[in-house]
Amino acid sequence: MNWVTRSLYAVWGVLAWLSFGVAVLLALLSTLLVPGIARRQQLAAVACRAVFVMPRVKVNVIGMDNLPPGDCMVVANHASYVDGLLLKGYLPGRFNFVIKGELRDIPIVHFLLRRSGGKFVERSEQSGSTRDARRIVKAARGGESLAFFPEGTFRKQAGVGRFRPGAFVAAIRGALPVVPIAIMGTREMLPSGRHLPWPVPLTIQILPAIAPGDPDFSDNRRLAEAARQRILEVLDEPDLLHQASGAEEDSTN
């Protein structure tokens, strides 16, 4: 990439961050002033979509008809900070996102996410993790539609890692269909370690649901791996678990 292209990308990246700032202001005003969680959820979705609409990012959503009309659990691969904004902006507003507990330490982010229906899961402290997991299961049993990034975090390395069991335990106990979602392009747009986003087209591919009657619903680990494999089938990224097991085999030979 030559310096002219890099300069143009840098200018676009600054404008994209300005768009994000406008969207955050809109979201903050809506969460402060608008009564009712359903209205706040819808306005938060509008604000998140504006992050992509204002800088004219092309977003392609495939398979929206695979979302069940009732409550369900969506699980997606995680490649960038952009992922949460993307799904919040383009999925129906009824979805509440389950977010890592570290974001509680950022007051404005915590306030925005909590007021728009976000739920936090503590990962480092055992008692907090157990308490948060119970709340998630209770929400699933109560029929809430929830959205998870079951890898828990993202990395610079391309690929899909292990899915944590929490989302799938909640899905089984709440008898909620699990909808795998493959997100493409966000790693190239804003990977770990880069400060300015690049103009990259994005794709959200919503895959057929795994329903409670499916044999994979018999065990949370089996369900997690079934969802992970369905995402890998359409995602042009490696299976990091397969790579890790292959490396272990080579080291023993």
Give the pLDDT confidence score for residue 253 in this predicted structure: 45
pLDDT tens-place string over residues 130-148:
566 677 777 777 777 888 9
pLDDT, mean of residues 160-172: 89
Return the domain boundaries, the chain: 57-242
pLDDT, mean of residues 150-159: 86
Amino acid at 94: R
Average pLDDT along the chain: 83
% of the chain exceeding 90 in pLDDT: 40
**pLDDT interval class at 246 (50, 70, 90):** low
Please tell me the least confidently modeled range out of 65-69, 88-92, 138-142, 188-192.
Answer: 138-142
Give the pLDDT confidence score for residue 244 in this predicted structure: 59
pLDDT tens-place string over residues 15-55:
999 988 888 788 777 777 777 777 877 888 888 899 999 99
Is the pLDDT confidence value at 14 over 80?
yes
Q: Distance between CA 106 and CA 170 in Å, rounded? A: 27
Amino acid at 46: V
The pTM of this model reads 0.86
CATH placement of domain 57-242? 3.40.1130.10
% of the chain exceeding 70 in pLDDT: 82
- Per the model's pLDDT, the better-predicted residue between 108 and 186 turns out to be 186
- Per the model's pLDDT, the better-predicted residue between 58 and 101 turns out to be 58
Is the pLDDT confidence value at 200 over 80?
yes
Q: Distance between CA 239 and CA 222 in Å, rounded? A: 16
